[in-house]
Amino acid sequence: MNSLTKQFYRYALTLVCLLLQQTMWAQYSASSLEEKSLKEIKNTAKSALRLGDSYTALAHYEEWSNRASDNLNLVEKTADLYRITRNYKEAEKWYLKLIEKGAEGFPLSYFFLGEVQMAQEKYAEAKKNYEKFKKLSREIKDPSYRKLVKNRLLSCTYAIASKDSTATALSKHLSSSVNMPHIEFSPISVGPNVMIYGSLKEKNVNLYDIDKVDSLKMPVRKLYVAEREGEEWVSKGEFDGPFNQNNKNIGNAVLSEDGKRLYFTYCEKNWQKRIVCEIFLSEKESESWSEPVKLNEEINLANYTTTQPAIGRAAKSNQEVLYFVSDRPGGKGGLDIWYTEYNKKRKYFKSPRNAGSKINSVGTECTPFYDLASHRLYFSSDGHVGLGGLDIYSVNGEKSKWEEPRVLKASINSSADDLDFTLHKSKEGGFLVSNRKGGAALLSETCCDDIYEFTYSEYVKISAEGKIMDGNEVLSNYKVNVYIEDKESNDRYLSQSYRIDTDQYEIKLEEGQEYSIEIEKDGYLTIIDKINTKNIKESKTITKRLQVEKIPSKPVLLLDILYEFNSPKLTAGAMASIDTTLYLILTNNPTIKVRIGSHTDSKGTNAYNQSLSQKRAQSVVKYLISKGVRKERLVAKGYGESQAIAPNTNEDGSDNPEGRRLNRRTEFEIIGKVDLIEPVEDSE
C-alpha cells in the first residue's frame, strides 16, 4: 500500500465525524466502466484517492479488481472503500473474499471484517474475527489496533448482553422535508419548535467529470432552519445571516446560553486535498448577526482541522469553556476533544488543552455537546465499549477532569454510526444523527447520515417551587441560582440561573443530583436551600417557603471573637466562631464586600490601641483568606478605643469590667459588591 493510499484511508476514517462526506462526483454504470481501458481505470482510481472521492475510487477499484482478480491488494482496497463508504454488506463480502484468497498477508482484514459485521449486529461472528485478528496483531506495526481489538471484544460481549434490554427512548426519523438523500448533521434546538441544522440539499447523486472537478462549482453544505408543525419538522430554508457561502462547507453551529453568540465551522479542502475546518464566531447585534470572525491561531491551528464547537462553563471561574474537535499534535488518537477557557476579564481564549484520556482514546472522538444544567458532556467515539461504529457517551465533569464515561442505551445508540447528540431545553428528548437502517439512502441503506428525534420513555420530572418570604410578606423580583454539589471534589457547578418576577419560583431539577438553591434579592442576604434528588425515582414537585433577611444597615457584632492576651492572634474558639458565622455569610453571598472592624477598651495609649486593633482586624481577614475568601472582598479597619459603646469606668472612677468587655469587640459591615467572576490564571 503506497503512502498516498495509506494517507487517504487514515484520513477517510475521520470523514464521518467531520460530517463532510465527499460529494459523489461520478457514478458509473458497469457498462460505462467496461468501455474504459485498464489504463484509464487505473488512472481514475488513483486520481480519485488523491482528490478524496471515495465513491469514484470504489467504482474504479472494483472494476480494476474484477479485471485483475489475482491482485489481492486491489481486493483489499475495494473492501476498504466499501467500508469507508459505509456499505457494510458489500464490505463484508469483499473482506471474506480477501480472507479466502490469502488472509496471511492481510491480517487487518480480520479486524475490519469484524467492524462491518458489528455494524450489521452480527456480534458473534465479529467476535470470532476479532479473536483471529488478536492472534495476528503482533504483525501490525501500528499499536493502536492492539488496543482497539481489546475494546471491540468487550463491545461484542456488551452488545450481546444488551440485545434484549428495555428501550429507554423512542427515536423517530425526521421527514423528507429535512432528511434528503445526502447528509444531514449538527441539529440544535433554538426553541421548543425551532431547529438549526446542516445539510447538503441535493436530491440526487450528481454526475461530475473527475478530470474537470477542480474547475467546477461544487454544491456545499449550508445551515438551514426547520420548524415543528404538528408532529413533523418542516424545513424553512437557509438560516438567515452572514453565514452560508457558495464556496465553503458550513456546519456545527452552537449558540451561547444567552443566544447572543454563534460558533460554527467553515470547512474546505487545502492544497493536499484534505478537508480542514476552522471555528468562527458571530455575535448578535440587535436583531442581526455580525460578520463571522475566525478564532485565534492557537485554536485554529494551521494545517490541522478544528471543528464541532460546544459550550460549557468552568466551575471555579464561572467562565465559558469552548470544547472542540481536532486532529492536532498531542492527541490520543485520530480526532480528539480539546478545550479552551475564555478569560472574560482580559477578553481572550487560553491555550487549548486536550480533554484527557478519560474521554479521548486511540480511536476517534467527535461531536461534543455540553449540557450546562447537568454539568455533563455528551460525545461520540469508536474507542470505548459500545454497540459498534461511533456510539454516544455521557460523562460528568469539565475540562480535563471527568468521571468514567457511560455509553447510552441501545434505544439511543445502534450498531451503525451515532453522533451529534443534543438535548431539547425540556431535557425530555433531543436530536441525534445516524446512518442506521431506515434513513434516506443514496447508494446503500447505511451510506448517509440523517437526523432523528428521540423522546425518553421514562423521563422523571422533578421540580421545586415555592415562595420567598420576609416575615409574612411574599417577595418577588429576585434571582434563583441552582448549583450541583460534588461531594468528592468539594466543588459546585452552576446549573441554572433564573430571574423571578412573580411571587413564586419554579425550577426544573434532574434525578441523581445534590443541589444548592441560592436566592438573591437586592437588599437581602442570600439564603441557600439544599435539595437531594438521588433517591427520587418518580416525577415529583418539591414545595417550600424560604425566609430571607435584610442586609443590616449597621455593623454586626461577631460573638466570641477573642484574641490571646495583649495579642492580635485569634484563639481556636474565635476561629470556630468565624467558621459558623461570617465565613458562612461570605460563602453564601459571594459578591458582598465587608469591612472587619476591631475595637479595644481604653487601657494603654491611643496609639497602641489603634495599632493592636488594626492587627486584630487583619488577623480576621488573614484567616478568612486562608479559608478561600478572595482578598478583594475584605477590608480590615482598626478603631482602637475611639468608638466605645459602653463606659470603660464607672461614674465614681472605678474600673468597669463589663463595659471594657463590650468595647473589646469585632464587627463586620457590608460595604459593597465585587465582580462574581474570579481572576483566571493562564496556567492550571
Please write down the HEC assignment for all residues of 66-128.
HHCCCCHHHHHHHHHHHHHCCCHHHHHHHHHHHHHHHHHHCCHHHHHHHHHHHCCCCHHHHHH
Q: Same domain, yes or no, for 480 and 615?
A: no
Q: In whole angstroms, what is the distance from residue 235 CA to residue 226 CA? A: 4
CATH number at residue 109: 1.25.40.10
620 within 8 A of 637, measured Cβ to Cβ: no
Q: Is residue 318 part of a domain?
A: yes
Q: Same domain, yes or no, for 230 and 111?
A: no
- pTM, two decimals, is 0.86
Q: Same domain, yes or no, for 84 and 209?
A: no
Q: Is residue 272 part of a domain?
A: yes
Q: Same domain, yes or no, for 352 and 435?
A: yes
Q: Is residue 678 part of a domain?
A: no
Cα-based torsion angle of the residue sequence 549, 555, 561, 564 in order, rounded to the nearest 10 degrees: 170
User: If you ran DSSP here, which 8-state letter would residue 214 be given?
Assistant: G
Q: Which of 433, 456, 479 is the last residue of a domain?
A: 456
Q: Same domain, yes or no, for 479 and 605?
A: no
CATH number at residue 495: 2.60.40.1120
Q: Same domain, yes or no, for 619 and 524?
A: no
Q: Same domain, yes or no, for 221 and 111?
A: no
Q: In whole angstroms, what is the distance from residue 369 CA to residue 380 CA? A: 9
4 within 8 A of 273, measured Cβ to Cβ: no
Q: List, in order, residues 6 or more apart from 138 with CB less than 8 Å away.
A: none
Tell me which residue of 512, 500, 475 sits closest to 394, measured CA to CA.
Answer: 512
Grid cell digits, residue 121:
449486529
Q: Is residue 338 part of a domain?
A: yes
Residue 78 structural domain: 3-162
Q: In what order do the strands lie in the sheet with 450-456?
A: 169-173, 450-456, 429-434, 418-423
CATH number at residue 231: 2.115.10.20
Q: Which pLDDT score, from 0 to 100, does residue 210 have?
A: 55
Q: In whole angstroms, what is the distance from residue 444 CA to residue 83 CA? A: 11
Grid cell digits, residue 479:
434571582
Tell me which residue of 595, 666, 584, 669 sits closest to 628, measured CA to CA.
Answer: 584
Q: Is residue 680 part of a domain?
A: no
Q: Which of 113, 146, 162 is the last residue of a domain?
A: 162
Q: Which pLDDT score, from 0 to 100, does residue 295 have?
A: 96
Instruction: Give the residue ranges of the chain where pLDDT is below 50.
Output: 1-13, 20-26, 207-208, 215, 678-684
Q: Same domain, yes or no, for 23 and 117?
A: yes
Q: Is residue 588 part of a domain?
A: yes
Grid cell digits, residue 637:
479597619
* Residue indicated by cell numbers 479473536: 131
Q: Is residue 182 part of a domain?
A: yes
User: If you ran DSSP here, which 8-state letter would residue 246 be given?
Assistant: S
Q: Same domain, yes or no, for 273 and 156?
A: no
Grid cell digits, residue 578:
468565624
Instruction: Please give the single-letter amino acid code of residue 400.
Output: S
Q: In whole angstroms, what is the distance from residue 245 CA to residue 255 CA? A: 20
Q: Is residue 72 part of a domain?
A: yes
438 torsion bin: left (phi>0), alpha (psi -120 to 50), beta (else): left
Q: Which pLDDT score, from 0 to 100, does residue 10 have?
A: 44
Q: In whole angstroms, what is the distance from residue 456 CA to residue 374 CA? A: 16
Q: In a 3-state reduction of DSSP, which class is residue 34?
A: helix
Domain count, the chain: 4
Length reported for the chain: 684
| E-assigned strand segments in 295-363 | 306-313, 320-326, 336-343, 348-349, 353-354
Q: Which of 162, 190, 219 is the last residue of a domain?
A: 162
Q: Which pLDDT score, from 0 to 100, does residue 204 have?
A: 60
Q: Same domain, yes or no, for 195 and 245?
A: yes
User: If you ran DSSP here, which 8-state letter would residue 433 be given?
Assistant: E
Q: Which pLDDT score, from 0 to 100, does residue 89 have?
A: 97
599 within 8 A of 664, measured Cβ to Cβ: yes
Q: Same domain, yes or no, for 401 and 421?
A: yes
Tell me which residue of 306, 275, 251, 245 sits closest to 451, measured CA to CA.
Answer: 251
Q: Which pLDDT score, from 0 to 100, does residue 1 have?
A: 46
Q: Same domain, yes or no, for 332 and 397?
A: yes
